[in-house]
Amino acid sequence: MKINGIETSAKQFAYDGCHKIYLIEDGDDYQEARDSGYDIIPIASLRHKFNESCGLQFISNWKATERFVNQFQEACFEF
């Protein structure tokens, strides 16, 4: 999958139910996100969750080392 032209191999993402979307890239990300109370959702639902989120939404990897979509930015998803 590509998000705004950036490739990701993530199969899941963490979602706070409002606007914070973090891609889960490994088992440590998964465990930390679960321990922090985030819902873990299959990547196939990413476009839907992004579109239903509030205008502050962003997409980052869990480690916050890569930003795929900034707040108030449009998102292009390629599967």
Count of the separate structural domains present in the chain: 1
* Entry pTM: 0.95
Find the DSSP H helices in 1-79: 27-35, 46-52
Average pLDDT over residues 38-58: 96
Expressed as residue numbers, the domain containing 20 is 2-78
Average pLDDT over residues 15-25: 97
Average pLDDT, the chain: 97
Contact 59, 21 (CB under 8 A): yes
Tokens of 30: 């998964």
Amino acid 79: pLDDT: 84
Average pLDDT over residues 21-34: 98
How far is 56 from 50, CA to CA, in rounded Å?
10
